[in-house]
Amino acid sequence: MRVGFIGLGAMGLPMARHLVAADHDVVVASRSRGPIDAAVAAGAREGSGPAGVVAASTVTILCVPNSADVVAVIDDALPELREGKIVVDASTIDPEVERAQHERVHATGAAYLEAPLSGGTVGAENGTLTLMVGGEATTLEAARPALEPFAGLIVHVGGPGLGQVAKLCNNLIFAAQMLATAEATTLAAKSGIDLRVLHEILVHSTGDCTAVRTRIPFEGVLPDSPASNGWKPGFMTDLMAKDLDLTTAHAARIKSPMFTPGVVRQLLTAASEAGYGREDLSALGKIVRRLAGV
């Protein structure tokens, strides 16, 4: 299959590599020269911007940082969209903005899906991402060969925008886990509990969660955690802040109560202002530790 990929960031580049490894004809575009060169070295071809990628592809996947970036890509690609083309947005953006992109693309005769991702950079590298798909089921079946090489699970959530809502729900829970994990481990450390002992207890108790298993925000407790590896991001602090803002805005639109983002967002802001914005979101634990004097 001829597959286009636009946005070769920390998630997009390994996803594109999986597509090449699956013997798809992959054409890429990105803002930075380095990732394009890396994708070409892996066997992809460089396209002439978003419009050139869409022109050369049957299915084009977008993986860009925010709503404005998705709109800009669709703006550029519109002249090349027609019946037989499929666009899949794997970014995490505002559900209402996403619904508008569905309408714009469908108006050309092309098809559109949203497929925001969960699994972080580790999932992207391992090809085990979870995709939360919004759009028509028939379009998903047509695009599935271009998604399966980097997916461990593909779930059709429902119509346009609902994939994005599911992703925001997931990230809201993860953000709450991360703050609770930072507070609990800081409390334990300040009280004199060995955090390796606490970790063993938690993963066999009701406190078990993804943040506990992967992101204890103390160096040397978990060998594979960001804290033990220079706070290398599996999911950046600034991106979680963006997603919580999207969650709050969507909840306000539909008048659904929302308490957690207001608390976690303050810690993420403090982490970003401290210079941790491009580090893993678990770096918010450094703020909690600093306040505790640990």
Catalytic residue among 85, 167, 242, 286: 167
**Euclidean distance between CA atoms 221 and 224, whole angstroms:** 9
Does the annotation mark 167 as catalytic?
yes
104-150 pLDDT, tens digit per residue, is 999 999 999 999 999 999 999 999 999 999 999 999 999 999 999 99
Instruction: Tally the residues of the chain.
Output: 294
**Euclidean distance between CA atoms 182 and 288, whole angstroms:** 7
Is CATH 3.30.43.10 correct for 165-292? no
| Three-state DSSP state, 240 | helix
Mean pLDDT by 10 residues, the chain (294 residues): 97 98 98 95 96 97 96 97 98 98 98 96 96 98 98 98 98 98 98 98 98 98 97 96 97 97 96 98 98 97
* pTM over cut 0.85: yes
Share of the chain above pLDDT 70, in %: 100
User: Which CATH superfamily includes the segment(s) 2-158?
Assistant: NAD(P)-binding Rossmann-like Domain (3.40.50.720)
User: Residue 200: enclosing H or E segment and its boundaries?
Assistant: helix 195-202
Q: Which amino acid is residue 240, in one-letter code?
A: M
Domain with CATH 1.10.1040.10 in the chain: 165-292
Domain with CATH 3.40.50.720 in the chain: 2-158
67-87 pLDDT, tens digit per residue, is 999 999 999 999 999 999 999
Residue 213 burial (C-beta neighbours within 10 Å; 0-12, 13-18, 19+): middle
